[in-house]
Amino acid sequence: GETTFSIFVTTSGNYSVEVSYFGCVETDDVNVNFAELPIVDLGEDIFVCGKVFATLDGTPDNIDDFDEVFYQWFFNGVLIDGATEATLVVTEIGDYTVEVTSPLDCSGSDTISVIISDYTVDLGVDVTLCENASYEIIPVVTGIDPSEATYLWSTGETTFSIVVTTSGNYSVEVSYGECVETDDINVNFRELPIIELGINIIKCADDVVTLNATPSSNVSANFTYTWFYNGGIINNETSSTLDVTEAGIYAVEVNDDGCISTDDIVIEFYANQRCVISQGISPNGDGLNDCLDLLFLDDQLSIVKLSIFNRHGRLVYEQNDYINQWCGQSNNGEVLPTGNYFYVITLQNDPAISGYIYLNK
């Protein structure tokens, strides 16, 4: 349908023209055939490790559409003499191009780069940390873009880095193309010192309480002690024990080569008048010496039971785990008569204590 002197065509077919001149018409036609080009794809660039050795294949994807094709290989733009086969074995890094030509002199080509992949992976030196901590292992990858590599850790994770919380040897495989580089690291989580100052203590005012912070286990030869009294550091106290004569809150910090454990304890002291066994009680309800108070003794020696006997040797009162329950009554709750009574205090780990007490109604 075009009316120009000439036309451009891009598809195969039969094309004709009518030429008119003062009523005269002449026609002619021509067959135009566009021959198929070889489709060549050498694939992605090749990364090789160490020694270079690879086989390139330039066979066209549409080879079945041709009776025959002709090959010519080039290295860095320079023709390779005698390299006229479909495949080429390469032993040098550089750019390789294949040109494939059909019998109709139609050609297709592709270029591929063969690159030495020279990179390293370093997880760093072995590390030792305290338990209950975590450690992120981050590989240092040099020679390539780390984001273009893939990672496979001994834990099965495929992330760039991993976070670990248990001791062990951890390794990573870093793959780049066909190349794989590995490294490993030992991560050791040391147990914290185990210290126990014990339960809170109540003692008599003249007593000395010795606190012992020696760890029961898991201590190296590099541990140190820091003692605290009511939140402040006690100067010049750096041993595992501390003698206490003042009431307050005591704490200790044990540093085992950077791994730190702490514990604290409350120390109280009775007034001296509460630290003796009373020689008499007067249960008259005035709030003064109404009962036999042995709390101080129980705190120190752990009372198993208190037994009270009358002057005839008959057991009139007995109480297990005694503290201050006897106020002059018998086992059945009756008020005992005024007089002297004999007591026996049975202790958990010490000899029994006995003596006389006067009950004054």
pTM over 0.85: no
pLDDT tens readout for residues 180-236: 999 999 999 988 888 899 988 888 777 889 999 888 765 566 789 999 999 999 999
Same domain, 87 and 135: no
Of the two residues 67 and 170, the one the predictor is more confident about is: 170
The single-letter code of the amino acid at 185 is I
**What pLDDT is stored for residue 124 in this prediction?**
96
pLDDT at 34: 78
Residues 256, 186 within the same domain: no
**pLDDT classification of 272: cutoffs 50, 70, 90:** low
Whether pLDDT at 257 is above 60? yes
Residue 4 belongs to some domain of the structure: no
Tell whether 349 and 313 lie within a shared domain.
Answer: yes
Looking at the structure, tell me whether residues 289 and 355 fall in a common domain: yes
Structure token pair of residue 24: 């005269």
Predicted pLDDT of residue 116: 78
Q: Is residue 258 part of a domain?
A: yes
User: How far apart are alpha carbons 344 and 355 in whole angstroms?
Assistant: 7
Q: Is residue 26 part of a domain?
A: no
Q: What is the pLDDT of residue 302?
A: 84
Predicted confidence (pLDDT) per residue in 293-349, tens digit: 888 787 777 899 999 999 999 999 999 999 999 999 999 999 999 999 999 999 998
Q: Are residues 235 and 305 in the same domain?
A: no
Q: Cβ contacts of residue 79 below 8 Å, gap of 6+?
A: 72, 73
Residue 36 included in any domain: no
Looking at the structure, tell me whether residues 240 and 282 fall in a common domain.
Answer: no
Domain-located, residue 344:
yes
Is 27 within the bounds of a domain? Answer: no
Note whether 323 and 280 are same-domain residues. yes
Residues 235 and 256 in one domain: yes
* Residue 72 CA: distances (Å) to CA of 64, 111, 113, 325: 19, 12, 17, 112
Residue 80 to residue 73: CA distance in whole angstroms: 6
Q: What residue type is 311 in one-letter code?
A: R
Number of domains in the chain: 4
What is the pLDDT, as a whole number, of residue 277? 87
What pLDDT, on the 0 to 100 scale, is given for residue 218? 59
- Mean pLDDT, the chain, integer: 91
Q: Which domain holds residue 102?
A: 46-116
- pLDDT above 70 as % of the chain: 97
Q: Domain boundary at 190, 216, 236, which?
A: 190
Find where tokens 């850790």 sit. Answer: 153
Dmax of the chain from CA atoms?
Answer: 165
Distance CA 118, CA 108 (A): 33
pLDDT for residue 220: 61
Q: Are 182 and 174 in contact (CB under 8 A)?
A: yes
* pLDDT number for residue 219: 56
Q: Residues 104-139: pLDDT tens digits?
A: 888 999 999 988 777 899 999 999 998 889 999 999
Boundary-marking domain end, from 270, 296, 325: 270
Closest C-alpha among 66, 74, 76 to residue 98: 74
Boundary residue ending a domain (218, 241, 270) = 270
Q: What is the CATH number of the domain that holds 139?
A: 2.60.40.10
